[in-house]
Structures are given as C-alpha cells and as structure tokens.
Amino acid sequence: MSKAGSDLVEATSPRDGVRVVSLNRPSKRNALSGPLMAEFLACLAQASQDADVKVIVVTGNGPFFCAGADLVDIAALDSAGARSCRYLEDLCHGMEAVRKPLVAAVNGPALGGGFELALMVMFLLSFGRKGELSFSWQCDVMLASTTAYFALPETQRGLIPGAGGTQRLTAAVGKFRVA
C-alpha cells in the first residue's frame, strides 16, 4: 500500500487502481478548514489525472466522516476575509473537475458541510454560464457505516447550508423524504 498526502489529508492506494483520500483532522472531527480543503482538492486532482487510478474513495480518519466547517477557522476571518472566502466554491469546482468514479465511504457522522461533501461526491449540482441548473451524478455508491448519520444542523439555527445541501439532499432522496 502506498501512502501520500499531508497532515490534513491522507492519500493511500490500498489496491491497484484504488485511491483513498481521507480527511485527516480526527481531533477536530475532520472539520473543513481552508487549508484542509486546498489539500483535499489537490489530492483529488492528482488522483483524477493519474492513469493508474480507476476509482477514488473519499472518507474521514477517526470516528467522524466530517463535522462540517471549522467554526474556529471561520470566526477568525475579518469582514474582508469572509467576503473573499471562496473555499466552498473552490470545493464545488474541484469536485466537478474529477473525471474518475467516486465512492463516499461515510465512516461516521456527516454534519453540515460534511454532509454536503458526501452529497457532492454523490452528485454535482452546477450552474452553466447562462445560469441554467444541471445535475451530474458522480458516484456509483455511497457507503455508510452503522455509526454514520447525516444532518444539516445549521438549518435549525435559521442558516442556509453554504454548499447547496438542501438542494442536493432533495435531489438525492426526493422532496417528500426530506425532513
């Protein structure tokens, strides 16, 4: 098994043709920070361009898949930094650029942005140049462990999921199953 990546994201190849990209901040429940997302996208881009990689598995290290946005990271932004912050947009575009089959291996709770990431692996919601909405399915399988659960807790506080989670969830399971 080969291993690459950094402190925040780990990329392994447990078998020929398989690249596992793991969020690696277990002490922070794999919370999404700007640096983590940049490294995650770099690992995905490298795997997508590697001719030896046939499938990419996205998962989290530790008991959480991903707890969502790193609120400490967000709270540290000043108003100019918050206005110029584009990492969710970068995440959407980076995921859309992947040209290999993706599998979401949800090994624990997927909350907020973590749930949105799992949904993003499942399919991509994109807007064309003229604003038209399109869906492109990216995932053959989403696997969830017995400890996995999914939630968009920000909606209970009157906040809108930042990466289109409500639209992705409705498209994935149908509008009558979303509660």
pLDDT tens figures, 38-64 = 999 999 999 999 999 999 999 999 999
* Alpha helices in the chain, H assignment, sequence order: 34-49, 71-75, 79-84, 87-96, 113-122, 165-173
Tell me how far CA of residue 36 lies from CA of 24, 40, 70, 128, 156, in angstroms. 8, 6, 10, 27, 26
pLDDT at 128: 46
pTM score, two decimals?
0.79
Say which range, 29-33, 81-85, 89-93, 150-154, has the weakest mean pLDDT: 81-85
Q: Which residues are catalytic?
A: 116, 154
Domains and CATH numbers, the chain: 2-173 (3.90.226.10)
pLDDT tens figures, 81-137 = 777 776 677 777 788 788 888 888 899 999 888 888 887 776 543 444 455 444 444
